[in-house]
Each structure stands twice: as structure tokens, then as C-alpha cells.
A and B are shown apart, each in its own frame.
Chain A
């Protein structure tokens, strides 16, 4: 798992370095690598290990997890569509910050450096975005 975790981040880093070439397949490659890594991550023994991604999920859990969800079986794709609509309501910068945290699992420090902001600024922005997303999901009855 540790090897695959490192491989995932090495591949992400390689993709980021090569992104200047404007490869249109880049996002698809990154997506495939992420999906493979996550399948392994969700195995019981892998979930026990701490890591950036686990920390990011724990952070957002309070804003999405509820025993009283109306539709427990909402399809991942439907939820993805709703999250996508929510992302469209954000500014470019906030959308990128959200993706860097909850898709790429970057640390606050890495996001701050990437965006040219301070860590405190990133922390405040992510708090606001999470609260806004929670409200968005409540209004769409995904989170009751």
C-alpha cells in the first residue's frame, strides 16, 4: 500500500510537471491512477493507515455524513453531478482549492504554495466552502 501510495503521488507529480505540454489525456490518466489507488485504499488494512487523503476525508465528514439521509443509496454519479453543480457556483480560485484538497488530497501547505496564498487563507476558504456545500446539499435534500 505504501508503495502504491508513493507511486500515485509520483505519477501525479510527473503529470504536473508535464502539464505544460497541454496533453489532453492528462486529466484522464490522473483520474485512472487515482481510482486504482483508491480501490486499494478502501481495503480495510489500508484504511487504518493515516495519510493526507484520510485527513482530508475526516475533515469533510462533518459536513456530509448523517444517519438521517433521505436517500442512502444515492448513486455516486448523481452525487457527482450535484457536486459539480455546486463547484460551478464557486469562483475559479475556490474551485481549484476544493479540488486540490478533496480530489488531489494536497496538504494546506502545498495548496497555499500552489495558489500563492497563505495557509491561513486556505484554511478559512476551505471552511467557508465546506459550509456552503453543506447548505447546498441540504437544499437539494442530499443531506438532511
Chain B
């Protein structure tokens, strides 16, 4: 087959694909205010009641998982998600506890049935019932990249967390990366402190940067992770610190979304100008302007 054959074939495609591409509207612009206004007027008490019911359950599972120290088990499994294969890691939680939170069915395979946690409509956590009716809880780790080499953080946000724009983010919290347990390291961490950002400008800027971050997944290799930037910071014993710059220039990131879910697996390194996650999940280094913008937001000088 050559390109002309491909081109001829494209000309023969069913017109439904052309219609779809002609009539596609970006998600943000799809609302027909007259239509939604009329529907809201007729169904508002049902919607409110439903929201209140689901919020109670949403808070219930998310509140439970928020209070629980997430204890991962060294077992991974793959789950088909959208057009991807997603890697999930098992979370240690008793079946008796899990029974309370089994929600709507998400996916049924030959040997397993996957459920959303009750009241939750994103894919960060899934509950699995196996052929023997045993229940286990699983948490999203990454997309498989064996066939396709990369994905973006935007894919993770939209497909797994149901986040399609900065408006879906409530807050971003940064905290020190606790890799240095010397007294000096702890002093730096205390000095850095924990900060929460809720202003629209910071959230918009953060979202517009991270949605394009290219991730190599757990199957990928660390790209050239050389030290690209250096930072100055004041501490009396700076010359005695081990990995002082790394301690100072690294932040754990926790993002709270409007749907009640929290993403807390990302870390940002100002030294290498990139994001990373535990388990060897690497990303493409950021453009310099993006590094400077994030450093401004996070107060990294």
C-alpha cells in the first residue's frame, strides 16, 4: 500500500466521519443554554437531591480513603481504560470494609468485574470482584506504554480523574520532599513548609503546563535527567548538606479536584525541570519558561 492508495481510501470513507469532524464542537462550547436552562428548571429538585445523595457517598469513600494511610500491596494488574491499558496497584483494605463502597459496574471481563467506588465517577480507584466473589481495591498508577511510547498528564487528568480544565481544580498544595532526614535537611523542609494555592491565575498556569507534560509511564526509561538548573538558598550549614539543592528545589504536589478526588502522586523537581513519580515513572523535561513559571508559583528561587 502506498500513500496514494491511502489517500484514495480516505476519499472513500463513510461520510459519517466527515460529518463528525465538521460538526465537532469543543467541550466547553457545547452547552445550549436554552436547552440546559429548560432542563434545569424541570429537573432541578431531582438534580439537587441526586447531588446531595452522591456528595454524601462521595465524601464517604473519599473521606475514608483520605483518612486511611494508603497501604499498597506489591501486586499490579492491567485494566482496559478508554483506548489504553492502565496499570493499577492493589491497596490493602479489608473485604468487609470494601463491601460498603461497591458502586456502579465499570467493566466486566471473563474472570473479573470492576466497579467504581460508590458515589465516585472517576477511575483513580476501582474495586475488583473476582470469580470467587472476593473484593479488592486498586489504585491507578500509569498507562502502559509498550505499544505507544508516551502519554500526557492531560490524558491522565481527563481519562482517570475526569478533569478537563483548570476550572475542575480546587487547589494545589505543595509540601517538602522528605528525602533528607538530617537535621539540616529537616530544617530546610521546615523552612519550605506547606502551601496551598487557590487563586485562578496560579491554577490556570499550572494546569496549562501540566496537561502537556509527556509521560513515559512505568515501562519507559529515564530521559537525560541531568541537573539543568541550580538554586540558591540560605542556611548556615549549606555546604554540609547532602543533596541540599535537591531538597530545596523539590516539591510534593497534591491537587484537589471539584469532584472530590485528590491526585497526590506527582513530584516536581526544579533542579531537573521535570515532574516525576515514585516507581520510576518519568516525564519529558519541561521547557525553560514553564520551569520558571512553576518556580514562581511555588516560590522556588
Contact = CB atoms under 8 A, between A and B. Distances in A.
Interface in B1-60: 1-24, 26-28
A38 B10 CA distance: 11
Contact of A124 (B5, B16, B19, B151): B151
B186 interface: no
For the complex of A and B, list the 10 residue pairs with the smallest distance between their C-beta atoms, beginning with the closest: A80-B12, A79-B9, A99-B21, A76-B8, A116-B26, A27-B18, A27-B15, A80-B9, A57-B3, A128-B148
B122 interface: no
Contacts of B11: 31, 34-35, 38, 76, 80
Contacts of A35: 11
A143 interface: yes
A74 B211 CA distance: 40
A65 B2 contact: yes
Interface string B142-157: 0000011111101000
A90 B20 CA distance: 13
Interface in A98-136: 99-100, 102-104, 114-118, 120-121, 124, 127-128, 131-132, 135
Contact of A103 (B10, B24, B82, B151): B10
B167 interface: no
A60 B6 contact: yes
What secondary structure prevails in chain A residues at the interface with B?
helix
B82 A91 contact: yes
Contact of B83 (A19, A64, A91): A91
Interface string B165-178: 00000000000000
Nearest to A41: B7
A77 B214 CA distance: 37
Contact of A118 (B23, B150, B212): B212
Interface residues of A, number: 56
A89 to B, nearest CB: 7
A35 B9 CA distance: 11
Nearest to B21: A99
Contacts of A49: none
A116 B27 contact: yes
A124 B147 contact: no
A118 B128 CA distance: 36
Nearest to B287: A120
B11 to A, nearest CB: 5
Contacts of B19: 26-27
Given A96-B20, A121-B211, A127-B148, 14 more contacts: A19-B23, A28-B15, A31-B11, A57-B6, A65-B2, A74-B1, A77-B12, A79-B1, A79-B6, A80-B11, A96-B24, A99-B17, A103-B18, A118-B212
